[in-house]
Amino acid sequence: MNLASVVLIKALRFGDARGWFCETYSERSAESAGIDVRFVQDNQSFSASVGTVRGLHFQRAPHAQAKLVRCVRGSIMDYAVDIRRGSPTYGKWVGAKLTAEGGEQLYVPVGFAHGFVTLEADVEVAYKVSDFYAPDCDGGIVWNDPTIGIDWPLPSGGAVLSDKDKVLPTLASFESPFNYDGVPLQPLTSA
Among 62, 8, 64, CA closest to 34: 8
Q: What is the edge-to-edge ordering of all strands in the sheet holding 93-99?
A: 93-99, 75-82, 112-118, 53-59, 138-140
Distance CA(123)–CA(75), nearest Å, equals: 7
Phi and psi angles of residue 98, each rounded to the nearest 5 degrees, phi first: -115, 130
Supply the DSSP symbol for 61: T
57 is catalytic: yes
Catalytic residue among 79, 127, 133, 180: 127
Catalytic residue among 25, 57, 79, 133: 57
63 is catalytic: no
Among 65, 69, 67, CA closest to 24: 69
- What are the residue numbers of the active site? 57, 127
